[in-house]
Amino acid sequence: MRIDSIGKNPNVQQSSSIKNSEISNDIQNETASSSISNEVNYTQNQAKSEIDNEEILQKSVEQANKSLEKYNKVIEREVHEVTKTMLYRLKDSKTGEVIREFPPKKFRI
């Protein structure tokens, strides 16, 4: 009986090759799934962070406006239509006159 012929059995080598290919595909699928999951989590966290920042900014403006009431002043916030940057205006609350804008018009596109 010769034992060395078992290692050269084509059926054993083919089966081993198929299993290695399946394992490789499984690893690639898990890696892709993990990558997609990480991207989704990052995007969700980024969106939540932007919402949190927006809430903080809004509360800050509200608090500043409470302090400015006694001076008849108010701060308004808006997004510039073209540049999509945040604009702040300090206005006289009685007359509506714009006292100052941040950033100033000369710095806007």
6 phi and psi angles, rounded to 5 deg: -65, -40
| Residue 82, phi then psi, degrees to nearest 5 | -85, -50
Least confident of 3-7, 30-34, 46-50: 3-7
62 and 101 share a domain? Answer: no
Look at the alpha carbons of 51, 56, 60, 62 in this order and tell me if their dihedral is positive or negative.
positive
Domain extent at residue 80: 72-109
1 with 38, same domain: the answer is yes
With a CB cutoff of 8 Å and minimum separation 6, the contacts of 97 are 91
Confidence of residue 99 (pLDDT cuts 50, 70, 90): very high
pLDDT digits (tens, 9 = 90+) for 33-82: 666 666 666 666 666 777 788 888 889 999 999 999 999 999 999 888 88
**Quick one: 51 and 82 in the same domain?**
no
Reported pTM: 0.52
> Do 96 and 61 have their domain in common?
no
Domain count, the chain: 2
Q: Are residue 105 and residue 60 in the same domain, yes or no?
A: no
Question: What is the distance between the alpha carbons of residues 51 and 22, in angstroms, rounded to a whole number?
Answer: 43
Question: 46 with 82, same domain?
Answer: no
